[in-house]
Structure 1
């Protein structure tokens, strides 16, 4: 059954060519128990360190229950006495300098330096893991030391400063945690990180040797502290910020754009073949400048005709759990600043986000709208990464491209798209130049991630105004307005610009308007036969007031914890 086309002049009729034929292989169902294309995992070294930390905890319990602390104390004391026997004034000076990283001031400076660097490069996930691991380890080490209450070394002179109990060594625990956290949050994976691991080990060995020489800690205190300090951040960063998902890079670009090379790229190719039967030969980013909430991809696949020389392409949008979290923070910020706009509820999972966009894309396609043909959903990592696959508009260009000719026929098509969405009860909610493509004189609307079913009249009016502004970028307001009056009434046009202002315009559209130096919004207002009062957007509700209060309290509490942590002795 063919969906009815939009009611518009002849130049504005929607033309939807069929997508190029694509070769399909039999799909393969992943058996139960088989890992997904890109599984989450903890390397062998991480498992060993977690096992060692477990051994340390079990040993503490055995020692406390059996009362065999005297034997451990005796062994530690004999080792420290042997080290003290080789002391000399020169070695003492060297030891005091070598142990500077274990001092409270040095550890606090390391903490602040990492926070500043991660904030400057906007590596927020690494920053939050860094802070969380730091707070967890510092408080855990302090609690264990207060519980075990092991005194400092006796029968040997303590040369350096110290405070509190000794098991585990709190300075060594915190230093190991901060150094490992620095390694996994600031140093790119590969050769640099491998070298960094040896540097971290060297710094820990030098600091440990200094504290043992100065008799500030027992050997078992240092050993327990290093094991705890290495295991916790190693497990946290490898599980919460795996390099395949959150690589440490210093190139420019949006944090929403994930790296699709290496293991992730191979997983995408394998998943496409197993789940959709598509034989992909390459996966590469595409159109990153116009996307801030996903990773758009151009995927080259085998054509339907094996003898055909030209390769076919499909379009993919890679979504990860990080995009869902970013969407939550974005919508929370909008609620605090402007109140809760329509349909601003965040998604609870990346699976639901992809399912919704695929559903909306199929609705638009079934209604005869010029959108890419949906091809399906691919699971990369369960509940963490999914790929939405659709037709790739080969040869299409953004409507803002200078090579695109925006004539009356193209303007009519864009307006017909909005009219058709009104008729079927939908709103796109993100009409901007990057989402309006043109190919061979045919207009296509892409990126339906924010589309809404049964929107309010306000949302529909905003769609109309944004489409008018997009079409006027390459022409002028009067031409677009005259064509719009053929499909919309004066009241509808007045309502559109009463509902539209800077907040409701996508950021890309605002930037292009500023770059052109034209106030198209004002030009349209001057063409209207009359104006309606502006639609009120900002609203104060009990929910918004409560969120503002909770956010302020959370910021105050975070600052207080940070100040307390920085001022606490190690």
Structure 2
């Protein structure tokens, strides 16, 4: 229509926009915080929350190394006569106490070492981990299982040790005996279940004794039935325990990936115990603030980090609060999968390049926050970055907005509406886009609006991305007021062309999930209400974009899924 060719008219900026542009929209300074002398960690000293392998894990790894070296020695020298002699004498001694009753008991006691029992254990663990969406534990469970089975099978095929001779074998057996493949796989699966399903602490310690008892009973059964040599059983248990124990302790430490069954987002890390102490110590060493309490805060509105309210010492005997966002490697991986999924489903909505390290992620958000603050935008004062574990965990520290409420719960008047619209106008002027404007990221305190959470902000975004910010801001402001009021105030700072483009670029996909939920809960179609107020409409901006990169990623993902399914099916059907 003819309106698309008309020259844009820019309305005169409002008072709120003029104040933001001149940096005159002042807000109270954050409460004073008592500072102490900072301490630089000397070279070689472990970080506040180090990654470690306990003494038991080191012993198991050492024993597995001994087993592997012994296998190499035997293969190289072909001298197993002494080991065979000792094993045979032990089995002959056990065979001397056989009786029909004990044989029946041994057959029942060895049921966990059967192929069917191990397959059931495998499927149950996969089902439980998938139901509780513990994907990292599930991945390690599967990878360790496949790795140990193949290593044990390769070692057995290399050694080619026959089953015990000069002793009657009472139970079923298959293949070579060194190491005992059933004992290796059973130990691997039981230890993997222990570290992926049982919460750390007293319950896990009790479960360790149970796992040890099950392995002991199964081993005793197989020795009584002469299905394996004693050294076969020992080697199998050592390999089966060492591999999953080291993998889970190093890749899923309790401090970072706790096993828990209460509801909650996997992005929200536990900040009690060792991690809480590490945060307190790191804050004092690196920022010079003395923290007295670290508690989660505002978890409902956060899905990509762990937001924290940190109580610190202020002047005299008083206390104050600062805000912290805890980022870990799990958030980095979630960000990568999230961006990969968006690329596969929608093409490139905006910059979907993943971060390569947790450090880069935190550095970028801190930089953007300082850029917004220096531009006069009403954002929390940045206070610095705290390193918890190098390259794995960092804490972004800012001012805590004491007494502020989410905009979805606060009273909104025309002054607050003008401030919200002025924030978008100012971001356009400095070449920024927030990309996540939703009620949880807009706070109101004493009639002043604050913009928080700049994690997704983009520098020099596309015009489409900036237009989406305007529409989302208008929708959020209309949740507590109405569309006509917000539209009337918007025309004081934006032209009809700019508003029409904003709603042409915005629909369900580009709205944050919290905003969509609140719109559905109110039963209002605010998007349609704004469209009805426009003097004209622009055609919707196309979102779906097919590129060679998207096609290639889709094909690679499909092939990877097919290969994974094939490996799992092959493993489930392989005999032990």
Smaller-chain TM-score range?
A: over 0.9
Given candidates 165, 170, 188, the residue that maps to 2:181 is 170
1:3 aligned residue: none
Matches within 5 A, 1:167-246: 167-246=178-257
**Aligned residue in 2 for 1:306:** 316
Question: Secondary structure of the residue that 1:248 maps to in structure 2?
Answer: coil
Give the TM-score normalised by structure 2: 0.96
Q: 1:7: Cα distance to partner?
A: 4.7
- Report the 3-state secondary structure (helix = DSSP H, G, I; strand = E; otherwise coil) of the residue aligned with 1:160: coil
Separation (CA, whole Å) in 2 of partners of 1:568 and 1:162? 14
Question: Secondary structure in 1 aligned to 2:284?
Answer: helix
Q: Kindly provide the CA deviation profile for residues 183-212 of structure 1, in whole angstroms up to 9, marking residues without a partner as x.
A: 000000111001000000000001001111
Using the alignment, how far apart are the partners of 2:278 and 2:185 within structure 1? Answer: 37
1:108: which partner in 2?
119
Query: Which residue of structure 2 aligns with residue 160 of structure 1?
Result: 171
**Structure 2 Cα separation of the partners of residues 163 and 340 of structure 1:** 53
Q: Deviations over 1:15-41 (max 9, x none)?
A: 422111111111111110000000000
- Larger CA deviation: 431-440 vs 11-20: 11-20
Q: Which region of structure 1 is more displaced relative to structure 2, 510-519 or 83-92?
A: 83-92
**Could you say which residue in structure 1 is the equivalent of 2:3?**
none
Structure 2 residue aligned with 1:484: 490
Q: How does 1:453-472 map to 2 (within 5 A)?
A: 453-472=459-478
Task: Give the aligned partner of residue 315 of structure 1.
Answer: 323
Measured in 1, the distance between the counterparts of 2:18 and 2:143 equals 56
Alpha-carbon distance between aligned partners in 2 of 1:271 and 1:453, rounded to the nearest angstrom: 31
Aligned residues: 560
Q: Distance in 2 between matches of 1:515 and 1:117?
A: 33
1:348 corresponds to = 356
1:9 CA drift (Å)? 2.6
Judge which range, 276-285 or 54-63, deviates more. Answer: 54-63
Q: What corresponds to 1:31 in structure 2?
A: 42
Partner Cα distance (1:470, 1:503) in 2: 16
Alpha-carbon distance, 1:66 to partner:
3.1
Q: Runs (4+) of structure 1 moved beyond 3 Å?
A: 10-15
| Aligned counterparts of 1:168 and 1:507: Cα–Cα separation in 2 | 53
Give the aligned partner of residue 8 of structure 2: none
For 2:90, the equivalent position in structure 1 comes to 79
Match of 1:507 among 501, 504, 513: 513
Alpha-carbon distance in 2 for matches of 1:479, 1:50? 68
The equivalent of 1:21 in structure 2 is: 32
**Is 2:372 aligned against 1:364?**
yes
Structure 2 residue matching 1:155: 3-state secondary structure: coil
Q: Distance in 2 between matches of 1:377 and 1:434?
A: 23
- Is the partner of 1:372 in helix, strand or coil? coil
- Is the alpha carbon distance of 1:516 and 1:12 closer, same or farther for their aligned partners in structure 2, counting shifts above 3 Å? farther
Give the structure 1 partner of residue 568 of structure 2: 562
Q: Give runs of aligned pairs for residues 389-538 of structure 1, distance below 5 A.
A: 389-401=397-409, 404-538=410-544
* Contact 1:11 1:409 survives alignment (8 Å): no
SS in structure 2 of the partner of residue 379 of structure 1: strand
Ranges in structure 1 where 5+ consecutive residues have no aligned partner: 1-5
User: SS of 1:486's equivalent?
Assistant: coil
Shift of 1:417: 0.3
Do the aligned residues in 2 keep the contact of 1:284 with 1:297 (CA within 8 Å)? Answer: yes
Aligned mates of 1:551, 1:66 — CA distance in 2: 46
* 1:136 to 2:136 alignment: no
Could you tell me whether the CA contact under 8 Å between 2:16 and 2:419 is conserved in 1? Answer: no
The answer to whether the 8 Å contact 2:17/2:422 transfers is no
Matches within 5 A, 1:45-60: 45-60=56-71
Distance 2:316 2:334 in 1: 42
> 1:12: how far off?
8.4
Question: What SS does the corresponding residue of 2:461 show, helix, strand or coil?
Answer: coil
Could you list the per-position Cα deviations for residues 480-530 of structure 1 after superposition, in whole angstroms to 9, with x for gaps in the alignment?
001100000000000000000111100000000111111111111111111
1:149 is matched with which residue? 160
Contact 2:223 2:230 in 1 (8 A): yes
Q: Are residues 119 and 9 of structure 1, via their aligned partners in 2, closer, same or farther at CA, if it must alter by over 3 Å?
A: same
SS at match of 1:313: strand
Quote the offset at 1:65 in angstroms.
Answer: 2.8
Q: Does 1:96 align with 2:104?
A: no
Alpha-carbon separation, structure 2, partners of 1:199 and 1:322 = 31
Q: What are structure 2's unaligned runs of at least 5 residues? A: 1-11, 20-24
Deviation at 1:299, TM superposition (A): 0.3
- CA RMSD in angstroms comes to 1.1
Distance 1:248 1:482 in 2: 52
- 5 Å matches for 1:285-304? 285-303=296-314
CA contact (8 A) 1:25 1:279 kept: yes
Q: 2: CA distance between counterparts of 1:50 and 1:228?
A: 8
Q: Secondary structure at the match of 1:415?
A: helix
Q: Distance in 2 between matches of 1:386 and 1:550?
A: 32
Asked if the contact 2:500–2:534 (Cα under 8 Å) also holds between the matched residues in 1, the reply is yes
Deviation at 1:10, TM superposition (A): 5.2
SS in 2 for 1:317: strand
Matched residue, 2:7: none
Distance verdict in 2 for CA 1:46–1:212, change over 3 Å: same
Cα distance between partner residues in 1 of 2:428 and 2:16: 19
If the length of structure 1 is used for normalisation, what is the TM-score? 0.97
The reply to whether residue 338 of structure 1 matches residue 346 of structure 2 is: yes
